[in-house]
Structure 1
Amino acid sequence: MSQAKKVVVWSKKGCSYCEEVKSYLAENNLEYSTIDVTENDSLRDVLEVKYGIRYVPVVEVSNGSAEDAVYQAVFKVDLEALKAALA
């Protein structure tokens, strides 16, 4: 059995797409943590360095291994892309 995946949702207050992603995760009993970029440009800077974007939502999904975690990021507001990353 594979280890549980770690899910991180980069979001901001008032973002309906962000809420859609978090609702999907909650409805499917998938644990996640949130990084709120609201009024925090330094966090948007991190997104720009990592992925070349400054917008949210971004969902990072790890392979579950703490020592050598590899993250796959989902940028599109596309639940099918998110489902594929979680599979």
Structure 2
Amino acid sequence: MAENKNIVVWSKQGCSYCEEVKTYLEGKELDYQTIDITENEDRRDILKAKYGIRHVPVVEIGRGNVYEAVTKVGIEHLEKLLQRVNETS
């Protein structure tokens, strides 16, 4: 039995790119969790440790303990990862 994919969006309030990502996911009827770094700047340290960047949005998609991330700005990068994840389902 295949596990459902989990989607996590790292974002902050007032970030237009973050809102674009969330709107896109909602338009595709994909559920996601949000990690808001607005008042938690130390969470940027987690992004730095995991991906070598401190900016948002970052979108993590995966199953179980295996996740891939989109760290580049632009819906086209998210679309590519979603397609790749769906192909391996």
When normalised by structure 2's length, the TM-score is: 0.86
Contact 1:5 1:86 in 2 (8 A): no
Name the CA distance, whole Å, in 2 between partners of 1:14 and 1:22.
13
Gaps of 5+ in 1: none
Q: Give the equivalent residue in structure 2 for 1:14.
A: 14
Deviation at 1:39, TM superposition (A): 2.0
Q: Give the equivalent residue in structure 1 for 2:76.
A: 80
Taking only the aligned residue pairs, the percentage that are identical comes to 58
Gaps of 5+ in 2: 84-89
Moved over 4 A (4+): none
SS at match of 1:76: coil
SS at match of 2:42: helix
Aligned residues: 83
Letter in 2 for 1:9: V
Name the CA distance, whole Å, in 1 between partners of 2:5 and 2:75.
17
Name the CA distance, whole Å, in 2 between partners of 1:78 and 1:3.
27
Name the CA distance, whole Å, in 2 between partners of 1:2 and 1:16.
34
When normalised by structure 1's length, the TM-score is: 0.87
